[in-house]
Structure 1
Amino acid sequence: MPIIRTPQEFNEDELFVDLRAMFDYPLYLKCEGFNFAGSVKLKAALSMVDAAERDGRLNRDSVLVESSSGNLGMALSMIASVRGYQFICVVDPRTNLSTRQLIETLGGKVHMITEPSPDTGFLGARLDYVRELCASSPRYVWLNQHANPDNWRAHYRTTGPAIHRQFPDLDVLFVGAGTTGTLMGCARYFKEHRPAARIVAVDSVGSVTFGGEPGSRMIPGLGAGVRPALLDETFVDDVVHVPEIDTVRTCHRLARGGFLFGGSTGTVVSGAAAWLAEHRRGKDVVAVAVSPDLGDRYLDTIYQSAWVRDIYGADALDAVERLTPPNAIATGVR
């Protein structure tokens, strides 16, 4: 039994869900939501804060400031509360209400950007505000998850090795692309330690990360309106773009099996299933996908039928409602 003194000391790093019965593909889902911050972003947050402290950038008078769609803000708010820093999280309207409330409950402040930049969307507008704030006083310290190498280093040290320990013969790894910290850390690790593994990035339709056309996106987490500075495409073997309606349907399909995951997980699983159907149908394959968070913070959006139908159309969930009952899926009955 682990005994801890601070919340960031605990993170379940060895839990995988076998999705074969639910999706008919040999896909293992690495669950990163079982820590006190509730997401994979705890690793990046801790790595970046520790590095800033070692470098002397953070001191008792510092005010942490970060642009976040939610999960990193939650993780930084938790760490800031433990270590005595003030924290300002810059968000936009897509950030879930429950996440904003959690950040404030832990002592952080939330600044909402209400108007997107005409060229770079909400992300660009958030980053512009952070730059202006930092220029106003040296007290503000921006860790900048979008360009900070300690973001991907966290996953090079932890997430990649954890997957490799459980699946030494890994064939394909699916990782969602947000800041690309998780993607780059895992990709760099496997290119060194298991070069035969294929790295597939999963992105949202409407994201510009891999050169796609910018478009409206309502689900926070994956995708970007500004190309992430951390991204190095030489480490990526393939890219899958997932429409948000497929993200929503996949989340509901997982929920029918008793697993409540977040929007980023729905995107990654949907992209993984589509890629496996096209490239590895009927073949034995060892495939792993990374699940960034759980679904409790999405109850008012992805898992709210009225919200889904208002955004994506009256028939958005019809395909999910026709699914085989979960007990039939679990027992293999058709």
Structure 2
Amino acid sequence: MLALVGHTPLARIRTALPHPHPGFWAKLEGLGAGGMKARGAVSMLRGARARGELRPGAPVVESTSGTLGLGLAFAGQALGHPVVLVGDSELEPAMRQLLRAHGARLELVGEPAREGGWQAARLARLRELLRRMPDAYWPDQYGNPDNAAGYLPMAAELADRLDHLDVLVCSVGTGGHSAGLAAPLRRRWPRLRVIGVDAAGSAIFGQRARPRLMRGLGSSIQPRNVAYEAFDEVHWVGAAEAVDACRRLARSGFVSGGWSTGAVALVSAWAAGAEPGAVVATVFPDGPHRYLGTVYDDDFCRVHGLDAATPAVRPEEIAHPRAAPPAPAAGWTRCRTVVDPADPAGPADPADPAGPAGPADAVARAVRTARVPAPARGGGACG
């Protein structure tokens, strides 16, 4: 089974998104077993086994919005570990069925936390499970360096296929694949520019957390795996823009995916058009099948007002990440100032009346730096 991970195709994408552009390269991770996050999942479990933190046959417990859960279900089968996944009530029914079909046990939380949203609620349930399962191992996808290390082979695959690379576009959720790709590719091409793509309404790069439709990218917390220093700029993309890009890809390029795929495709097409002649590459994390009831469902889009929205065709630039987007969790915004929101020495936005840290930021940092004590026996419970 482990031989099925990686070695995914690299496709040239020329679909107008929404305007014609010179084209960009996309790694089609949806065509690999377990999706893109199987790479990080296998790496985290192998690392824990090598250190003696994960005993043979011991359970693995993790929080997920779905995509990593699928990767862990694969890794658990391949390496012989039962998998318990903490999701939430917004996890799509199709993904619940798929995860259970692959042998994972699901624990679902019913309400987001008042501070920290769904991630904080899932992490609270995860801690309860770890107290009841002293032999269990928590990979901690948000802060485990083995997560990022799992994407080093993908960097090598890109380097083998491309003679040159000017711009790398990465969706950002846990920060794993962007951290794993940026460093080795920049050693190969020192002038490489890295663009992070986040969800409108996400707190990862310092904006205030807001309710979001999109799953798989964005976060209400600030994961420790995010390599802020690697990014030259960040774009926040809204749900209407991601849906429009996904449907354009499916309709005229056949290759498509979900929220993250639509967001990175939009930004990659923009980057290719903004600098003709530049070689641009990105990663499509998964395929469209998980999103048939959301991105590709007309009723879902109508209920959430996405069918009536006019997607932005270019980003609105802001001077600092703490500046509010044009509308909550919508639109398309770009910022060429990237700072670690948890770094007190980082530059603050002088126009922000809340100062360098508001209440939501304090909670996000508290969740980001939280650790679960090691159990009295068995493998370590934190990554």
Q: Does 1:306 align with 2:299?
A: yes
Aligned to 2:12: 18
Tell me the SS of whatever aligns to 2:137: strand
Task: Sort the Cα spacing of 1:318 and 1:201 in 2 relative to 1 into closer, same or farther, 3 A.
Answer: closer
Aligned to 1:332: none
Tell me how far 1:223 sits from its aligned partner. Answer: 0.4
Cα deviation digits, residues 20-59 of structure 1 (max 9, x gap): 253423211111111221x110100110111111111222
Tell me how far 1:79 sits from its aligned partner. Answer: 2.4
Greater mean alpha carbon deviation, residues 51-60 or residues 78-87: 78-87
1:120 to 94, 108, 116: 116
Aligned to 1:269: 265
Task: Sort the Cα spacing of 1:304 and 1:317 in 2 relative to 1 into closer, same or farther, 3 A.
Answer: farther
In structure 1, give the amino acid aligned to 2:220: G
Q: Distance in 2 between matches of 1:217 and 1:177?
A: 15
Aligned to 2:75: 79
Q: Does 1:199 align with 2:194?
A: yes
Q: Which protein is richer in helix relative to its size?
A: 1
Tell me how far 1:275 sits from its aligned partner. Answer: 4.0
Aligned to 2:207: 212
Contact 1:203 1:241 in 2 (8 A): yes
Aligned to 1:32: 29
Contact 1:94 1:220 in 2 (8 A): no
Contact 1:249 1:317 in 2 (8 A): no
Aligned to 2:377: none
Q: Does 1:293 align with 2:272?
A: no
In structure 2, give the amino acid aligned to 1:25: P
Cα deviation digits, residues 144-163 of structure 1 (max 9, x gap): 111000010111x2111211
Q: Distance in 2 between matches of 1:15 and 1:248?
A: 23
Q: Output aligned runs, 1:151-170, within 5 Å.
A: 151-155=147-151, 157-170=152-165
Task: Sort the Cα spacing of 1:45 and 1:313 in 2 relative to 1 into closer, same or farther, 3 A.
Answer: closer
Q: Output aligned runs, 1:205-284, within 5 Å.
A: 205-257=200-252, 258-277=254-273, 279-280=274-275, 283-284=276-277
Cα deviation digits, residues 257-303 of structure 1 (max 9, x gap): 122312210111112234445x42xx211001111000111101110
Aligned to 1:65: 61
Q: Output aligned runs, 1:44-63, within 5 Å.
A: 44-60=40-56, 62-63=58-59
Tell me the SS of whatever aligns to 1:183: helix
Tell me the SS of whatever aligns to 2:185: helix
Cα deviation digits, residues 180-215 of structure 1 (max 9, x gap): 100011111123221111011111101111011211
Contact 1:94 1:219 in 2 (8 A): no
Task: Sort the Cα spacing of 1:314 and 1:99 in 2 relative to 1 into closer, same or farther, 3 A.
Answer: closer
Task: Sort the Cα spacing of 1:112 and 1:135 in 2 relative to 1 into closer, same or farther, 3 A.
Answer: same
Q: Does 1:185 align with 2:180?
A: yes
Q: Distance in 2 between matches of 1:194 and 1:131?
A: 42
Greater mean alpha carbon deviation, residues 187-196 or residues 139-148: 187-196
Where relative contact order (Cα < 8 A, 6+ residues apart) is larger, the structure is 2
Q: Distance in 2 between matches of 1:236 and 1:266?
A: 20
In structure 1, give the amino acid aligned to 2:282: A
Q: Distance in 2 between matches of 1:13 and 1:61?
A: 28
Greater mean alpha carbon deviation, residues 126-135 or residues 78-87: 78-87
- RMSD of equivalent CA atoms: 2.0
Tell me the SS of whatever aligns to 1:57: coil
Q: Distance in 2 between matches of 1:93 and 1:224?
A: 16
Q: Does 1:91 align with 2:87?
A: yes
Contact 1:248 1:263 in 2 (8 A): yes
Q: Distance in 1 between matches of 2:36 and 2:96?
A: 17
Contact 1:309 1:316 in 2 (8 A): no
Aligned residues with identical type, % of pairs: 30
Tell me how far 1:107 sits from its aligned partner. Answer: 1.4
In structure 2, give the amino acid aligned to 1:15: P
Contact 2:6 2:32 in 1 (8 A): yes
Tell me how far 1:70 sits from its aligned partner. Answer: 0.7
Tell me the SS of whatever aligns to 2:181: helix
Q: Distance in 1 between matches of 2:32 and 2:25?
A: 20
Gaps of 5+ in 2: 313-383
How many pairs does the alignment contain?
A: 309
Tell me how far 1:134 sits from its aligned partner. Answer: 1.5
Cα deviation digits, residues 117-163 of structure 1 (max 9, x gap): 111000111112112221333212100111000010111x2111211
Tell me how far 1:236 sits from its aligned partner. Answer: 1.0
Q: Distance in 1 between matches of 2:268 and 2:84?
A: 35
